[in-house]
Homo-oligomer: A and B are copies of this chain.
Amino acid sequence: MQALDRLRIVMINTSDSGNIGAAARAMKTMGVSQLVLVQPKEHPTAKATARAAGAADLLYNARVVETLDEAIGDCQLVFGTSARLRTIPWPLINPREAASRVTNEPEGADIAILFGREDSGLNNEELRRCHLHICIPGNDAYSVLNVAAAIQVICYEMRMAALERAGAEEAQPNPDGLRDWDQPLVSSEETERLLRHFEEVLLDIDFFDPSNPKQLLTRLRRFFLRTRMDKLEMNLLRGILSTVQKRIRRESGSQP
């Protein structure tokens, strides 16, 4: 997707190469592929390759540079990630808003997101190079995400926004989770037939609450309507009900 292709993840002075590998994996699972490393402590390493798992190609293709200018000089929009409040406030948004901005950027814009050191994040000079700061709203008691985990969250939001904009199925509401169901769901008429069948069986087995038969039926109705059965499930239930009826009628000596 276009919005993800023009996105560049910039990791500055990363000291644990395992985090670079984990970042590559986080990026690739979300469809983001441009990784730029500014003065990594070590690169490439076997540790990074192991943590990258199926995303080792992103490590091989990573651009390694000496300065932030080389990393972002050609970008039209630069985000910095920061957990801390600085003395001069900078425009501060959450990852979802950042993703909305990225998908709405004019065509041709290159976009960088900066991630700082494991122990101290981005320094003030780096933060001042950014148009906007992104803050993942964390727990007041402990809000410091691992750098690769932060990259995972932000790339996830970028992907969700890109999927939504592309009208992709995965990003559309699907509250019941039934979108890709393999069976057609039952119609109102079929539900009514099932309920009548159920009521027959309940009569056959003398199950009615003598004080209030209607409430039982209403509860059953509510259950079956809420569950949204498919036709196969309905046929299964109808089969069970019929079998119960046959069995009971045979035992009581009546005709099937």
Residue positions of A touching B, CB distance < 8 A: 22, 25-26, 28-31, 51, 53-55, 88-94, 96-97, 100-101, 132-133, 135-139, 141-146, 148-149, 152-153, 156, 159-160, 163, 168, 170-171, 173-182
Q: Are A176 and B91 neighbours in the complex by a CB distance under 8 Å?
A: yes
Partner of A29, one of B53, B144, B160, B180: B144
In the complex, what's the smallest C-beta–C-beta distance from A27 to chain B, in angstroms?
A: 9
- When C-beta atoms are compared, the residue in chain B nearest to A100 turns out to be B175
Given contacts A28-B139, A142-B29, contact A89 B180 (CB under 8 A): yes
A156 contact set on B, CB distance < 8 A: 136, 153, 156
Contact B96 A26 (CB under 8 A): no
Q: Say how far A184's CB is from chain B's closest CB, in angstroms.
A: 13
Q: A29-B145, A53-B146, A93-B174 are in contact. List 9 more A-B contacts (CB 8 A).
A: A25-B146, A30-B139, A55-B142, A91-B178, A93-B175, A97-B177, A100-B175, A148-B149, A149-B149
Known A53-B146, A145-B26: A137·B170 in contact at CB below 8 Å: yes
- Chain B hits for A142, CB < 8 A: 28-29, 54-55
Q: List 15 A-B contacts (CB under 8 A).
A: A26-B149, A28-B141, A29-B136, A30-B138, A31-B139, A89-B181, A90-B177, A91-B176, A91-B177, A92-B179, A92-B180, A93-B177, A133-B177, A136-B156, A148-B149
Q: Are A146 and B26 in contact (CB under 8 A)?
A: yes
Cα-based distance from A159 to B159 in the complex (angstroms): 19
Nearest 7 pairs of A and B residues by beta carbon: A91-B177, A137-B170, A31-B139, A149-B152, A93-B177, A54-B142, A29-B138
Chain B neighbourhood of A90, CB < 8 A: 177
- Chain B residues contacting A92 (CB-CB under 8 Å) are 174, 177, 179-180
A26 CB → nearest B CB, Å? 6
A160→B135 CA distance, assembly (Å): 12
Cα-based distance from A125 to B230 in the complex (angstroms): 22
Report the minimum CB–CB distance from A115 to chain B (whole Å). Answer: 14
Instruction: Give chain B nearest CB distance to A182 CB in angstroms.
Output: 5
Interchain nearest-CB distance for A143 vs B (Å): 6
